[in-house]
Amino acid sequence: MSLFPSLLPSALLLSLWLLFDFTGILLSVISTYFYFGWAGMSLLVVRIFLIALFAFSGPLAYRLLLFRLPQEPVLKTLLGLQAGLYLLISLNRQSDLFAWGAVAGVWVSGLALMAVFRHLAAFRSGSIPFFMSALAVFLYLGVRVSNQGLALFFAPPQQQSGGYMAWILLLVGVFANFILPLPALARVSSTPATSAMPRLLLQLFGSVLGPLIGLSVGLIYNLHIWSAKTPEYQAAVYFLSLSLGLGLAWGLFRRLGSKPLVLLPLAGFSLAVSLFAILYQQNALPLALLAHGAGCLGLSLFWLYFFSRYQALQRAQNDYFPVWGLQLGFVLLLVVLAIFLLNANPNGFWLVLLISLALLLWAEMRSLPMQPEPVPLQRLWFFALGCFMLPGLMAFAISDRSPDRPVKDGQWLRIMSTNIRYGWTDDYRFDPFPHLQWLKHHPVDLLGIQEVNKGHTSGAYSDLYRFYQQALPGHWRYADANYGFGNALMTSLPVLSSETRLYQAKDILRRSCLKATVQVGSHPVDVYITHLSHLPHPNLVRQAQMQELLGWIQQSKNPWLVIGDFNAHPDSPEVQALLKLAHPAFQTQPELLKQPSFPSLKANERIDYVFFSPQFKLRRQQILETAGSTDHRPILTELALP
């Protein structure tokens, strides 16, 4: 007897887990390696779109190349290729290999997922593929959270925290020993029937898969992007709301699964509440947990209904595989994530919510009645949800507090600005470790960091704020600007207050300024860490952002520091406007602004600065080389307050 039906659960888990990881990595490759690394090439946008289209062509490629081949060896081969590509780009992140390996990884992951979806009828109930998908999400997120926000093998063994790996492996063991032998996995024999769905709807129903993956990996199951709203807490606390949402969804589906016209509007409303909170609101942790839990509830109900209805259609239609619908959904997934990445436009997520809800409701009204088949998974569900909750509870017990280092008046302070380019080096390698090691060997009293990723697509869904925070002791603050893309402060000085100020002027990306007040001797000092628009001169948006920054500085009653990447040259109107308020040393010592800071390996532009108010005394300011560990050279300034 073939083991193929028993292979499907683990295949669904592995293919989804790696698809999530590969998708985040590819989006980072698109936004950095292709977009900036290929700058100046003809038809750049067309080239990138064609590459991305190929990467997400899994449904069509599977139908053309693999549909008629023996499926068990096909699926095993695809899973092996997935794992091999993942190891390849994890252990060797040279720019070309990493970029094209990510493209191939998404493509192969799409093929593997289609090979599983071809045979969903082998599961007795839609609850089982949903359960396996939830485990895939849990393993994906558990590894990311326990591995300092990075994918599984991206951290060198000596630098992996490993805090949660034990219970992750325990869950894998339980999965292998208890889930695979379930008799519910046996292939269900059924006589093909004719569905009441119109032929067009039979195809369009498959397009729901892509939007659901986009909502999952892009927002709702992206714990790090939620933690960008509450950076004082670890991302792991959102495992609590994730477990709550999944548990409620499973319970509601068991009781109301036969009434989808009640269930689906409830799911849509819950998901809409969550989208509004993550895209537009800044909530304290209790409200953020409730909003995240609502999103997990709504999205999980969508997944449960989709799996169950897809199964019913597969049993009613002989070899049901809506290739054009599935491919359309993958293209929609690509477009929405690309718009979110390149234009900071969240409206695409509302579009996929409406499309998903409309298609699921239409399918329910135009198809044969569907009777949910309850499967006795209660013990496994409770165990799994307990594992989901465990890291959330542990997160509250972990403290990141560091002791203050009080200084005396007149004592020299070392202040540094650095742009970490969300983990990418100047020669286009996704490798945040060299720059972190460099910073460890150049300790400072106050460090301002720009382009800090916390769940944003540009940084492969990593959490570099947490990654740096774990490695560099001190008081940390984060100011989110653009859905997990912002600025950070690390200091050994006492922090009296901090806040996030968003610029009203924006272009492709929303920008922020982290405003903190620290204690220097007997003086409170206001610190502004910022990152201005990167579009070329003349840039009216950047000039407007500078006017906002100048207004905040002029309101300050304390000595002040401005640290950041201005993306503007010293003779630009933006910098000249700030020089009118800054220390006179910048006028009397013009050489302070002549040393270039960008790009790191062959610096020929000055766009990074540390400015300070006239109350300070300057000892020195210099640009430091980092061997290209990031694309900007840091600025070191030594100051004192008399």
What average pLDDT does the segment 39-54 reach? 88
* Burial class of residue 623 in the structure, from the number of CB atoms within 10 Å of its CB (0-12 exposed, 13-18 middle, 19+ buried): middle
Q: What is the pLDDT of residues 511-563, one digit of tens each?
A: 899 999 999 988 999 999 999 988 888 889 999 999 999 999 999 999 999 99
Fill in the DSSP letter of residue 149: T
| Segment 255-276 mean pLDDT | 88
Query: Residue 73 and residue 189: Cα distance in Å, rounded?
Result: 22
CA 68 to chain centre: 36
Residue 188's pLDDT is 46
Residue 133: phi, psi to the nearest 5? Answer: -65, -40
Asked if 337 and 457 count as a contact pair (C-beta separation under 8 A), the reply is: yes
27, 77 Cβ separation under 8 angstroms:
no
Compute the average pLDDT of residues 448-456. 92
The pLDDT value recorded for residue 1 is 37
pLDDT digits (tens, 9 = 90+) for 588-636: 998 999 899 999 999 999 999 999 999 999 999 999 999 999 999 999 9
Distance between first and last Cα of the chain: 84
Report the side by side order of strands in the sheet with 485-491: 475-480, 485-491, 446-453, 413-419, 635-640, 617-623
Task: Give the residue carrying structure tokens 């599977």.
Answer: 62
pLDDT (0 to 100) of residue 635: 96
Contact 356, 333 (CB under 8 A): no
- pLDDT for position 58: 93
Share of the chain above pLDDT 90, in %: 46
User: pLDDT tens, 360-415?
Assistant: 888 887 776 665 555 556 666 676 677 777 777 777 766 566 677 777 777 899 99
pLDDT attached to residue 295: 95
Span 470-491, pLDDT tens digits: 889 899 999 998 888 899 999 9
What pLDDT does 417 receive? 96
pLDDT band per the 50, 70, 90 thresholds, residue 174:
low
Q: What are the phi and psi torsion angles at 343 (to 5°)? A: -130, 5
pLDDT at 183: 43
422: left (phi over 0), alpha (psi -120 to 50) or beta: left
Mean predicted lDDT score pLDDT of the chain: 85
| pLDDT at res. 189 | 47
pLDDT score at 457: 82
Q: Which of 7-21, 98-112, 443-457 has the lowest mean pLDDT?
A: 7-21
Helix (H, G, I), strand (E, B) or coil at 514: strand
- pLDDT at 196 (0 to 100): 62
> What mean pLDDT is predicted for residues 571-576?
94
Task: Identify the residue with better confidence: 508 or 502.
Answer: 502
Residue of higher predicted confidence among 450 and 37: 450
Choose the weakest-confidence range: 178-187, 228-237, 334-343, 490-499. 178-187
CB atoms within 10 A of CB 448: 31
Listed range (9-23, 26-40, 360-374) with the worst mean pLDDT: 360-374
Q: Span 186-193, mean pLDDT?
A: 47
More confident residue, 19 or 124: 19
Q: Which two tokens stand for residue 380?
A: 């496994």
pLDDT band at 510 (very low <50, low <70, confident <90, very high): confident
Neighbours of 205 (CB within 10 A): 25
Q: Which residues contact 261 (CB under 8 A, 6 or more apart)?
A: 361, 364, 365
Quickly tell me which residue has 């709203």 as its tokens: 229
